[in-house]
Structure 1
Amino acid sequence: MSVRVAVLLLGCALLTGCAHNPATGRTDFVMMSEQQELALGHSYNQQILKENPRYADEKLQAYVQQVGERVAKNSHRSNLSYRFTVVDSPDINAFALPGGYIYIHRGLLAYLSSEAELAAVLGHEVGHVTARHSVQQQSQSTAWGILGQAVAIGTGVSAAADVTNVLGTAVVSGYGRDMELEADGLGAQYLARSGYDPQAMIEVVKVLKNQEVFARDQAAKRGQAVPESSYHGVFDSHPDNDRRLQEVIGPARALAGGKQEVNREVFLQHLEGLPFGDSAATGVRRGQHFYHAELGIALDFPAGWGLLNRPEAVIVHTADQQAFVAMTVSAAEPGLSPEELLRQRAKGQRLVQEQTLKGGGLHGYTGIIAGSPAKRVAIIYKDSRAYQFIAAVKGRGSLEGEDQHFMQVINSFRPLAAAEAKLAQPLRVHLRKAKAGDKMAALATASKWPEDPEATLRLLNGLYPEGEPRPGDWLKILR
Structure 2
Amino acid sequence: MKDRALTVESIQAGELIEVPQTRVGRRTYRRALARSIAVLLTTVALSGCQSILDQSYEPSVAPSQTPQIVDEVQKNDPRAEMGAREHPRIVASYGGEYKDVKTEQLVARITGALTLVSENPSQSYRITILNSPAINAFALPGGYVYVTRGLLALATDASEVAAVLSHEMAHVTANHGIERQQREEAEVIASRVVTEVLSSELAGKQALARSKLRLAAFSRNQELQADVIGVRMLGEAGYDPYAAARFLDAMGAYSRFNSIDPDSDPGLDFLSSHPTTPQRVDLARRHARQFGMEGKAGDKGRDYFLQGIDGLLYGDSPQEGYVRGQAFMHGNLGIRFEVPDGFRIDNKAEAVMATGPGEVAVRFDLVDDKSGGSLTEYIASGWVTGLMPDTVRAAFVNGMPAATARASADRWDFDVTVVRNGQKIYRFLTAVPKGSTAALQATAVQLRRTFRRLSPSEAANLKPLRIRVVAVNPGETIQTLADRMLGTDRKLELFRLINGLPLGASVSAGEKVKIVSE
Band the TM-score falls in, shorter-chain normalisation: 0.7 to 0.9
Aligned to 2:19: none
Alignment equivalent of 2:254, drawn from 186, 196, 211: 211
- Counterpart Cα distance in 2 of 1:225 and 1:343: 30
After superposition, what is the alpha-carbon deviation per residue over 1:212-252, rounded to whole angstroms, capped at 9, x for unaligned? 56568xx5xx9x9999894316975235994323344456x
Aligned to 1:308: 346
- Secondary structure of the 1:110 match is helix
Task: Trace 1:217-366 onto structure 2 (pairs within 5 A).
Answer: 219=260, 230-232=269-271, 237-239=276-278, 242-249=281-288, 253=291, 260-318=298-356, 322-344=359-381, 346=383, 352=389, 353-366=391-404
Alignment equivalent of 1:102, drawn from 137, 141, 145: 145
Alignment equivalent of 2:464, drawn from 426, 430, 436: 426
State whether structure 2 residue 103 is matched by structure 1 residue 58: no
Bigger Rg, which one: 1
Task: Trace 1:437-456 onto structure 2 (pairs within 5 A).
Answer: 437-456=475-494
Sort the Cα spacing of 1:77 and 1:337 in 2 relative to 1 into closer, same or farther, 3 A.
farther
- Secondary structure of the 2:340 match is coil
Q: Does the CA-based 8 Å contact 1:299-1:409 persist in structure 2?
A: yes
Alignment equivalent of 2:214, drawn from 155, 166, 169: 169
Aligned to 1:114: 157
Q: Does the CA-based 8 Å contact 1:52-1:311 persist in structure 2?
A: no
**Equivalent residues, number:** 418
Aligned to 1:126: 169
1:354 to partner: Cα distance:
1.2
Give the stretch that moved more between structures: 373-382 or 287-296: 373-382
Aligned to 1:470: 508
1:300 to partner: Cα distance:
0.9
Sort the Cα spacing of 1:458 and 1:295 in 2 relative to 1 into closer, same or farther, 3 A.
same
1:297 to partner: Cα distance:
1.3
- Which amino acid is the alignment partner of residue 41 of structure 1? G
Give the stretch that moved more between structures: 309-318 or 103-112: 103-112
Task: Trace 1:84-103 onto structure 2 (pairs within 5 A).
Answer: 84-103=127-146
Sort the Cα spacing of 1:47 and 1:381 in 2 relative to 1 into closer, same or farther, 3 A.
farther
- Secondary structure of the 2:150 match is helix
Aligned to 1:28: none
Q: Does the CA-based 8 Å contact 1:275-1:428 persist in structure 2?
A: yes
1:107 to partner: Cα distance:
2.3
- Which amino acid is the alignment partner of residue 491 of structure 2? P
Q: Does the CA-based 8 Å contact 1:74-1:190 persist in structure 2?
A: yes
Alignment equivalent of 2:418, drawn from 363, 373, 379: 379
- Counterpart Cα distance in 2 of 1:167 and 1:250: 37
Gaps of 5+ in 1: 1-33, 148-161
1:314 to partner: Cα distance:
1.0
Q: Once superposed, what is the RMSD of the aligned Cα atoms? A: 4.0
Q: Does the CA-based 8 Å contact 2:467-2:514 persist in structure 1?
A: yes
- Counterpart Cα distance in 1 of 2:472 and 2:233: 33
Sort the Cα spacing of 1:382 and 1:42 in 2 relative to 1 into closer, same or farther, 3 A.
farther
Sort the Cα spacing of 1:132 and 1:111 in 2 relative to 1 into closer, same or farther, 3 A.
same
- Secondary structure of the 2:218 match is coil
State whether structure 2 residue 85 is matched by structure 1 residue 47: no
Sort the Cα spacing of 1:435 and 1:309 in 2 relative to 1 into closer, same or farther, 3 A.
same
Aligned to 2:232: 189
After superposition, what is the alpha-carbon deviation per residue over 1:364-394, rounded to whole angstroms, capped at 9, x for unaligned? 223234543565434322233332333435x
Q: Does the CA-based 8 Å contact 1:360-1:414 persist in structure 2?
A: yes
Aligned to 1:461: 499
1:468 to partner: Cα distance:
0.7
Aligned-residue sequence identity (percent) comes to: 27
- Which amino acid is the alignment partner of residue 419 of structure 2? I
State whether structure 2 residue 110 is matched by structure 1 residue 67: yes
Sort the Cα spacing of 1:420 and 1:235 in 2 relative to 1 into closer, same or farther, 3 A.
same
- Secondary structure of the 2:111 match is helix
- Secondary structure of the 2:145 match is strand
- Which amino acid is the alignment partner of residue 383 of structure 2? A
- Counterpart Cα distance in 1 of 2:428 and 2:393: 14
- Counterpart Cα distance in 1 of 2:263 and 2:406: 33
Gaps of 5+ in 2: 1-76, 191-206
- Counterpart Cα distance in 2 of 1:285 and 1:146: 41
- Counterpart Cα distance in 2 of 1:459 and 1:408: 35
Query: Higher RCO, 1 or 2 (CA under 8 Å, sep at least 6)?
Result: 2
1:144 to partner: Cα distance:
10
- Which amino acid is the alignment partner of residue 244 of structure 2? M
TM-score by length of 1: 0.73
